[in-house]
A = this chain, B = another copy of it.
């Protein structure tokens, strides 16, 4: 088969995979195409956590035609029984002849074992190296598998002169409608939204993902609230699952409050203070706990203190910046750091990944200059 055809089939598998964008976590987004005589005979993608994997959907759709076919799949097929039967088992049983994958599954439970299993059963296995595409579709899954931490995006809406709010704290509406709608798409694909107690107290946001025309699986909501100051009447509790991250304290009153939240269905994560005197915890511990819950991608929408803490601990992977044409003249910045004298001359830590216009505003995404969450060995 010509190289260009192989890439075309794999691209189709990626297009399918993307349909699961908002629903597959904690699993990755995966797409699959079955080809016979250079024609697609079955397609599938992983629709949602707990449902059939992409490979199995494609096999089912191919009906009798799976036997002797070639499978194009965006990620190495799994080889262990989880919520569903192992994909390798199904592929072998269906009589697939060749499996072409875009990359190895970074999940240590698989990581090449899926390919081994297929080979042992007489199936030819080949990699088209499109790991980068698979990573781009699943940055959170890759990062979590490699480091037990989720992929952290910080969303910022700023004025032309760089402010996220007026001095009064007011921030509605820096950006236009189209930019705000775009922001909701980032919410929808995230496992959780992370914010600070001050944002909840001051702005009382609903913190839901609203994407017009789509019934979106709502991300969970995480509130950083070390002193438990958030009112249970806040709108953020009105729907969906809420997680409160607070400071672990052997204080009777606090224990009661925590108990009370738990009884109301709020998941409380108690984190030990940085030191015995400290009133702060390490965000790395919180993110570790969220990773254990299977959270791949986290969207941070908060004030400068939250963002600065995450940056200080070097935990931010991506900035999503909506830049407005409005000039405020004075206000609050998205981050406050002790400026290093060499901040200007230092090598850049961040690089622009994309720059686009969204309605009246400009959208810019930035990534860390060196990220090492993909780049796995080939088969």
Q: List B contacts of A326 (CB < 8 A).
A: 343-344, 346, 348, 350
Interface size on A, residues (CB 8 A): 51
Interface hub of A323, A335, A341, A343 (most chain B Cβ within 10 A): A343
Q: Is the CB of A325 within 8 A of B352?
A: yes
Are A160 and B328 neighbours in the complex by a CB distance under 8 Å? Answer: no
CA distance in complex: A340, B327 (Å):
10
- Copies of chain A in the complex: 2
The segment from A7-15, A116-124, A202-210, A357-365 that touches chain B is A357-365
Residues of B within 8 A of A311 (CB): 327
A18 in contact (CB, < 8 A) = no
Q: Determine whether the beta carbon of B325 is less than 8 Å from that of A329.
A: no
A172-B330 contact in complex given A162-B162, A325-B352, A339-B166, C-beta closer than 8 Å: no
B351/A360 in contact, CB under 8 A: yes
For chain A, residues 161 to 200, give those with C-beta under 8 angstroms from any C-beta of chain B. 161-163, 166-167, 170-174
Collect the chain B residues with CB atoms within 8 Å of residue A162's CB. 158-159, 161-163, 333
If A170-B344, A344-B171 touch, does A339 touch B331 (CB 8 Å cutoff)? yes
- Nearest Cβ distance between residue A234 and chain B, in whole angstroms? 22
- Are A352's CB and B360's CB within 8 A? yes
> Which chain B residues border A345 with CB–CB below 8 Å?
172-173
A366 at the interface (CB under 8 A from B): yes
A349 to B364, CA, bound (A): 22
Contact B351 A325 (CB under 8 A): yes
> CA of A349 to CA of B340 in the docked complex: distance in angstroms?
35
A355 at the interface (CB under 8 A from B): yes
Q: When the two chains form their complex, are residues B339 and A160 in contact, meaning their CB atoms are under 8 A apart?
A: no
A58 to chain B, nearest CB (A): 39
Contacts of A338 in B (CB 8 A): 329-330
Measured between beta carbons, the chain B residues less than 8 angstroms from A330 are 333, 336-339
- 3 tightest Cβ-Cβ pairs between the two chains A and B: A162-B162, A329-B337, A325-B350
Q: Could you list some 15 contacts between A and B, CB below 8 A? A: A161-B334, A162-B162, A166-B341, A166-B344, A172-B345, A325-B351, A326-B344, A326-B350, A327-B335, A328-B339, A330-B336, A330-B338, A351-B360, A352-B357, A352-B361
